[in-house]
Structure 1
Amino acid sequence: MIDLLRNHVPADATEEDHRENTLGFVSRTANCASRETLEGHVTASAWILSPDLNAVLLTHHKKLGRWLQLGGHVENDVSIQAAALREAREESGISKMDLLDETLFDIDVHLIPERKGTPAHYHYDFRFLIQAGDRDFTVGTESNDLAWLDVTKPLESLADDSIVRMQVKTETALKRAGKLS
């Protein structure tokens, strides 16, 4: 995880702050992915693009009531990338998904509010660029809804700044991964 963070080039000053905070947390915290770590923990997310790379799959999260990328907690995964893929498959029902790049696509730190006896804590969210094999999803128990949204149309009206940041970064990341010329 430390190498992913050190090699990541943030898109802006906000993401650089997230990268630095996450690097500090991961460096000083032995069980940085454990839900038992009270300060917070590392999570894994997927910026899922459609097979034709023209749309992004977002979830309307039940607990948070917002449109977000799919993702969640690291479990017994062999890597943070594997955790992002597992979460993406579990939350979308789409079995065929591939990482477009092993490197970190985005990093974000956000506060998760207190809920049902679990104190407020931070998610140090590692985000990866993923391509779905098809558009046929299943809305899971953690979502109110899932939707494919045009990756070129503004998402500001329904999404937070970190979603908009990933949307802006998509074209450059696809070029770097050799998916666009």
Structure 2
Amino acid sequence: MSLRSDARSVLESWTAPDPAQEALRRDYLTYLDRHPDAMWRSCRSGHLTASAAVLDPSGERTVLTLHGRIKLWLQLGGHCEEGDPSLAAAALREATEESGITGLRLLPEPVRLDRHAVPCGGGSWHLDVQYAAVAPAGAELVLDAAESDDLAWFDVRELPEPSDDACRALVHAAARAVRALAPGDQAGEAVLRRASRSG
């Protein structure tokens, strides 16, 4: 399955949490239909991207990066690459590269969508597909200065400034999803094991 086909499958099967997210889901599918290169940054009018809110196993703390160009505290993520077999794999790769954490486990379905303007190629749009990822207990961060100006754990109730509403909305949605996988919840652990194998 191509990355574009995977994106279509993910978006067709995803149940949006509210009408605004449903409208975005439909817009993303229409965009995929109209732009054969919608997965790649070469699509100058906009392209699909993948990101993840990385949380600790309790869903109480999250990792944010201080973006080197935008100068905001944001979730981890970015452009899809040729070797990515799926949107989930792209989100997991980006989160691993930018956090330095090995053993991240991605929840199998997106938690949100967000479309935002970016300076790519002189001005474009990211149609971001956003996931939640769970870090191993006690995971330590490894800052890559080429990726960001700073990297840190934050309480999900006390996110740093400057950030933006989209990042805050993602962190809160991801925290709810992770907390639903309560410790000792065998069904929840099975979800994470399946996600780890498929990623």
TM-score if structure 1 supplies the norm length? 0.85
- 1:22 has 2:28 as partner: yes
1:162 aligns with 2:166: yes
Candidates 122, 126, 135, aligned match of 1:123: 126
Per the TM alignment, residue 21 of structure 1 is displaced from its structure 2 partner at its CA by: 2.4
Aligned residue in 2 for 1:148: 153
d(CA) in 2 for partners of 1:171, 1:51: 10
Structure 1, residues 22-69: CA drift from partner, whole Å, max 9, x if none? 222122221211111111111110110013332010101001111110
Residue-pair matches, total: 175
Name the one with the larger strand percent.
1
What secondary structure, in the 3-state scheme, does the structure 1 residue paired with 2:109 have? coil
8 Å Cα contact 2:113-2:128 kept in structure 1:
yes
**Percent identity between the two aligned chains:** 34
Q: Deviations over 1:67-113 (max 9, x none)?
A: 110001111111111111111111111111111x2111111111112
**TM-score under structure 2 normalisation?**
0.78
Aligned-residue offset at 1:121: 0.7
Distance 1:98 1:18 in 2: 26
The match for 1:74 is: 80
Question: Separation in 1 of the partners of 2:158 and 2:12?
Answer: 30
Higher helix share: 2
Contact 1:11 1:169 (C-alpha < 8 Å) held by counterparts: no
Change (3 A) 1:159 1:10: farther
Alignment of 1:23-102 (within 5 A): 23-75=29-81, 76-99=83-106, 101-102=107-108
